[in-house]
Chains A and B, each alone.
Chain A
Amino acid sequence: MAERMGFFTDTSICIGCKACEVACKEWNQLPDDGFLFQATSYDNTVALGASTWRHVAFIEQQPVWTPEGETGDPLRIGPDGRWLMSSDVCKHCTHAGCLDVCPTGALFRTEFDTVVVQPDICNGCGYCVPACPFGVIDRREDDGRAWKCTMCYDRQRGGLEPACAKACPTDSIQFGPLDELRERAAGRVAALHAEGRTEARLYGESPGDGVGGMGAFFLLLDEPEVYGLPPDPVVPTRDLPAMWRWAGAAALTMVGAVAVSFLGAAVGSGGGSGRSAGSSGSRAFEQVRGVRGVLVRGVRRFGGFGGSPPAGWLPMRRFQGRGR
Chain B
Amino acid sequence: MAECHPVGFQWVVEARARGAKVFHVDPRYTRTSALADRYTQIRAGSDIVLLGALINHVLSNELDFREYVLAYTNASTIVSEDYRDTEDLDGLFSGFDHETRSYDPASWSYEGAPEEAAAGERAEQVEGGRAHARTAGPDQYGAGGAAALPRPAADPTLRHPRCVYQILKRHFARYTAETVEELCGVSREDFAELAEAITANSGRERTTTWVYSVGWTQHTVGVQYIRTASILQLLLGNIGRPGGGILALRGHASIQGSTDIPTLFNILPGYLPMPHAHRNETLDDYLARAGGDTGFWGRKRAYMVSLLKAWWGDAATEENGFRFDHLPRLTGDHGHYNTVMGQIDGTVKGYFVVGENPAVGSSGGRAQRFGLANLDWLVVRDLALVETATFWKDGPELETGEMRTEEIGTEVFFLPAASHVEKEGTFTNTQRLLQWREKALDPPGDCRSDLWFYYHLGRLIRERVTSEERDLPLRELTWDYPEEGEHREPSASAVLREIGGVGADGQALSAYTELEPDGSTRCGCWIYCGVYADEVNQAARRRPGREQNPEALEWGWAWPANRRILYNRASADPEGRPWSERKAYMYWDEERGEWAGPDVPDFEKNKRPDYRPPENAAAEDALSGIDPFIMQTDGKGWLFAPAGLSDGPLPAHYEPFESPVRNSLYGQQCNPGLRTYPRPESPYNPERSPRFPYVLTTYRLTEHHTAGAMSRPLAYLAELQPELFCEMSPTLAADLGLANGDWATIVTSRTAIEARVLVTERVRPLRIQGRVVHQIGLPYHWGWGSGGLVTGDVTNDLLPIALDPNVYIQESKATTCDVRPGRRPRGGDLLAMMEEYRHG
Q: Give chain A's interface residues, CB within 8 Å of chain B.
A: 13, 15-19, 21-22, 25-26, 31-37, 39, 41-42, 44-45, 60, 62-67, 71-74, 81-85, 169-171
Task: Given A33-B719, A44-B722, A85-B31, check contact A170 B765 (CB 8 Å).
Answer: no
Given contacts A60-B760, A60-B761, A74-B731, 9 further A-B contacts (CB under 8 A): A32-B716, A33-B719, A37-B723, A39-B757, A45-B720, A81-B761, A81-B762, A83-B31, A83-B762
Docked Cα-Cα span, A33 to B717, in Å, equals 11
Binds A, one of B32-40, B379-387, B823-831: B32-40
Within 8 Å CB of B764, what residues of A? 65, 74
Docked Cα-Cα span, A39 to B738, in Å, equals 13
Task: Given A15-B35, A34-B719, A67-B731, check contact A39 B741 (CB 8 Å).
Answer: yes
14 contacts between A and B (CB under 8 A): A13-B13, A15-B34, A17-B31, A18-B720, A19-B6, A21-B716, A22-B717, A22-B720, A39-B741, A62-B762, A65-B765, A72-B772, A82-B34, A170-B10
Name the residue on B nearest A26 (C-beta). B716
Name the residue on A nearest B724 (C-beta). A37
Within 8 Å CB of A17, what residues of B? 2, 6, 31, 702
Shortest beta-carbon contacts, A-B, top 5: A62-B761, A39-B741, A37-B723, A32-B715, A35-B722
- B759-778 vs A, Cβ < 8 Å mask (1 yes, 0 no): 01110111100111000000
Docked Cα-Cα span, A36 to B789, in Å, equals 11
Docked Cα-Cα span, A173 to B717, in Å, equals 20
B residues 717-765 in Cβ contact with A at 8 Å: 717-723, 725, 729-731, 740-741, 756-758, 760-762, 764-765
B441 contacts the other chain (Cβ, under 8 Å)? no
B residues 782-819 in Cβ contact with A at 8 Å: 789-790
The answer to whether A74 touches B716, judged by C-beta atoms less than 8 angstroms apart, is no
The smallest C-beta distance from A205 to any residue of chain B, in angstroms, reads 20
Within 8 Å CB of A65, what residues of B? 729-731, 761, 764-765
The smallest C-beta distance from A43 to any residue of chain B, in angstroms, reads 9
Docked Cα-Cα span, A25 to B715, in Å, equals 10
B666 contacts the other chain (Cβ, under 8 Å)? no
Q: Give chain B's interface residues, CB within 8 Å of chain A.
A: 2, 6-7, 9-10, 13, 29, 31-35, 39, 701-703, 715-723, 725, 729-731, 740-741, 756-758, 760-762, 764-767, 770-772, 789-790
Name the residue on A nearest B766 (C-beta). A74
The smallest C-beta distance from A322 to any residue of chain B, in angstroms, reads 39
Main SS of the interface on chain A? loop
Name the residue on A nearest B4 (C-beta). A17
Docked Cα-Cα span, A22 to B715, in Å, equals 10
Within 8 Å CB of B2, what residues of A? 15-17
Within 8 Å CB of B766, what residues of A? 74
The smallest C-beta distance from B406 to any residue of chain A, in angstroms, reads 33
The smallest C-beta distance from B737 to any residue of chain A, in angstroms, reads 16
The smallest C-beta distance from A189 to any residue of chain B, in angstroms, reads 14
Docked Cα-Cα span, A21 to B721, in Å, equals 13
Within 8 Å CB of A35, what residues of B? 718-719, 722-723, 789-790
The answer to whether B761 touches A37, judged by C-beta atoms less than 8 angstroms apart, is no
Within 8 Å CB of B10, what residues of A? 169-171
Docked Cα-Cα span, A76 to B540, in Å, equals 54
Docked Cα-Cα span, A19 to B703, in Å, equals 9
Docked Cα-Cα span, A16 to B35, in Å, equals 10
Docked Cα-Cα span, A70 to B139, in Å, equals 51
Within 8 Å CB of A42, what residues of B? 31, 701, 721
Docked Cα-Cα span, A78 to B29, in Å, equals 16
The answer to whether B765 touches A16, judged by C-beta atoms less than 8 angstroms apart, is no
The smallest C-beta distance from B823 to any residue of chain A, in angstroms, reads 14
Name the residue on A nearest B742 (C-beta). A39
Name the residue on A nearest B29 (C-beta). A81
Within 8 Å CB of B771, what residues of A? 72
Docked Cα-Cα span, A185 to B497, in Å, equals 50
The answer to whether B39 touches A81, judged by C-beta atoms less than 8 angstroms apart, is yes
The smallest C-beta distance from A33 to any residue of chain B, in angstroms, reads 5
Q: Which of A34, A67, A83, A85 has the most CB of B within 10 A?
A: A83
Partner of B767, one of A32, A66, A74, A84: A74
The smallest C-beta distance from A15 to any residue of chain B, in angstroms, reads 4
Q: Which of B701, B716, B718 has the most CB of A within 10 A?
A: B716
The answer to whether A39 touches B756, judged by C-beta atoms less than 8 angstroms apart, is yes
The smallest C-beta distance from B755 to any residue of chain A, in angstroms, reads 10
The answer to whether A44 touches B731, judged by C-beta atoms less than 8 angstroms apart, is no
Within 8 Å CB of B762, what residues of A? 60, 62, 81, 83
The answer to whether B730 touches A64, judged by C-beta atoms less than 8 angstroms apart, is yes
Within 8 Å CB of A84, what residues of B? 34
Docked Cα-Cα span, A26 to B723, in Å, equals 22
The answer to whether B35 touches A37, judged by C-beta atoms less than 8 angstroms apart, is no
The answer to whether A67 touches B772, judged by C-beta atoms less than 8 angstroms apart, is yes
The smallest C-beta distance from A74 to any residue of chain B, in angstroms, reads 5
Name the residue on A nearest B702 (C-beta). A17
The smallest C-beta distance from A270 to any residue of chain B, in angstroms, reads 74
Name the residue on A nearest B758 (C-beta). A39
The answer to whether B702 touches A85, judged by C-beta atoms less than 8 angstroms apart, is no
The smallest C-beta distance from A209 to any residue of chain B, in angstroms, reads 28
Task: Given A15-B35, A26-B716, check contact A41 B760 (CB 8 Å).
Answer: yes
Q: Which of A35, A45, A73, A81 has the most CB of B within 10 A?
A: A35
The smallest C-beta distance from A187 to any residue of chain B, in angstroms, reads 12
Task: Given A74-B765, A74-B772, check contact A85 B29 (CB 8 Å).
Answer: no
Within 8 Å CB of B731, what residues of A? 65-67, 74
